[in-house]
Amino acid sequence: MIALVIFIALAAAGCIGLGFWSIYGFMREVPQADRNFQDPLSFGLRTLWPLVNLATFVIAPSLPSHKLEVTYKQLQAAGLDFVLSPEQFYGLRATGAALVALFLLVLVKLLDVPGFPPYLLAIGFGALLGWWFPMLWLTERRNKRRRQVIKDLPIYLDFITMAVEAGLNITGGIEQATQKGPPGPMAQEFTRLLRDIRSGLPRAEALRRMADRMDMSQISGFTGTLIQADRVGASLGATLRAQASQRREERFLRAEKLALEAPVKMMLPLVLFFFPLIFLVLGYFIFLRMHQEGIF
C-alpha cells in the first residue's frame, strides 16, 4: 500500500514537472519584444511582461486590423503608444482576464463553496473583470492626461508668445517653451513635434499629427490656427496671444462648471450614506426618550 502511494505521488509530481517543462519550452519559443525604441515599463507591467508577451504571441495573429487601429488611437491619446503596441495591449487584457479568473477560482476553492456553479461564475466574472480592467485603466490615463493638458496649455502658449515676440520663429519658441515649461504631457507632445520637424517633416504636417495624436479640441484649434496663420502670413505673436487668452478663459469656464456640478454630484452620496446615519442616530435617541416615558 505504501509503495502504491509513493508511486502515485511520484507520477503526479512527474506530470506536474512535465507540464511546467512544456510551458517553459513553449515560452522559450516566443520571440522577445524589441523595446529598444520604446519607453520603459512600469513595475507592474514589468512583473507581468513574460505573460503579456506570451499572450500577445498567441492572440496577435487573430486580431482584426480595425480594432488594432482604434486601440492605437486610444493609446496615442493616453500617451502610451511608446509603451505598448495595440497587440501588446490586447495581450495585457488577455493576461488580466486569466489571472483574475484564476485568483477568484482559488478564492472559491479556499472558501470550500459547494457545487459547480460558483466555480463557473468565478471564472466567468473574473475573466470579464480582468478583460475590462486594462481598458478602464487606459480611459483613466487618457482623462487624466487631458485634464493636465488643459491646465498646462495656456502656460506653454504664454512662453511661445513671449519667445516669438522676442524674435524667435515658432519652432524656436516651442523649443524654449519645452525647456522652461512645466513637465508633463504637454512637454512630451511638443518634444515629439520638434522631433518630427527636425526629421524633415513639414511643420504643418507635424502640427496635424500632433492634433491627431492628442484628439482634443483645444489642441486642434491651436494647431489649426498656427497652420492658417503660417499659410496666410498673419502675425504669429497676435495669433498666439489670442489663443492663450482663449485657452485660459476655457480653463476658467471649465473650473467654474465643475464647481457648479459638485453639489449635484454630492447629493447621491449624501442620500445613500450620510442622511441614513443621521436618521439612525436621531431615531435611537427618540426611541430611548419614548421608552423612558413609557410609550414603549
Instruction: Indicate the pTM of the whole model.
Output: 0.70
What's the distance, CA 151 to chain centroid?
18
- Name the residue with cell 512645466: 182
Do 48 and 92 touch, CB atoms closer than 8 A?
yes
201 contacts: CB under 8 Å, gap ≥ 6: 209
What's the mean per-residue pLDDT of the chain? 78
Per cent of the chain over pLDDT 90 is: 0
pLDDT of residue 209: 85
**Burial category of 243 from C-beta neighbours within 10 Å (exposed 0-12, middle 13-18, buried 19 and up):** buried
Residues in the chain: 296
Check residue 39 and report its DSSP letter.
Answer: P
Express as a percent the part of the chain with pLDDT over 70: 84
User: 149 with 217: CB under 8 angstroms?
Assistant: no
User: What integer is the mean pLDDT of 101-107?
Assistant: 85
What is the full DSSP assignment across 48-64? Answer: HHHHHHHHHHHHGGGS-
Instruction: Please check whether residue 243 is in contact with residue 225, taking contact to mean a CB–CB distance below 8 angstroms.
Output: yes
When pLDDT is cut at 50, 70 and 90, the band that residue 114 belongs to is confident
How far apart (Å, rounded) are the C-alpha atoms in residues 248 and 257? 14
Q: What is the pLDDT of residues 219-261, one digit of tens each?
A: 887 788 778 777 766 667 777 777 777 777 777 777 777 777 7
Return the pLDDT at 157: 82
Q: Are 127 and 199 in contact (CB under 8 A)?
A: no
pLDDT top residue among 29 and 207: 207
What cell numbers appear for 133 in the block? 480592467
Q: Quick one: pLDDT band at residue 7, thresholds 50, 70, 90? A: low
If you average pLDDT over residues 136-162, what whole number do you get?
85
* CA separation, residue 49 to residues 2, 29, 155, 290 (Å): 44, 15, 38, 65
Span 118-137, pLDDT tens digits: 778 888 888 888 889 888 88
Range in 9-23, 84-98, 166-180, 265-279 the model is least confident about: 9-23
Average pLDDT (27-47) is: 66
The pLDDT of residue 10 is above 80: no
If you average pLDDT over residues 141-159, what whole number do you get?
Answer: 85
At 174-223, the pLDDT tens digits run: 888 888 878 888 888 888 888 888 888 888 888 888 888 887 877 887 78
- Res 63 pLDDT > 50: yes
* Residue 270 per-residue DSSP state: I
Phi, psi of 66 (to 5 degrees): -70, -35
- Confidence at 21, pLDDT banded by 50, 70, 90: low
Cα–Cα distance for residue pair 267/202, rounded to 1 Å: 52
The interaxial angle of helices 65-78 and 117-165, nearest 10 deg, is: 50
Residue 281 CA from chain centroid, whole number: 42
Give the DSSP letter of residue 83. Answer: T
Q: How far apart are CA 82 and CA 98, in angstroms?
A: 25
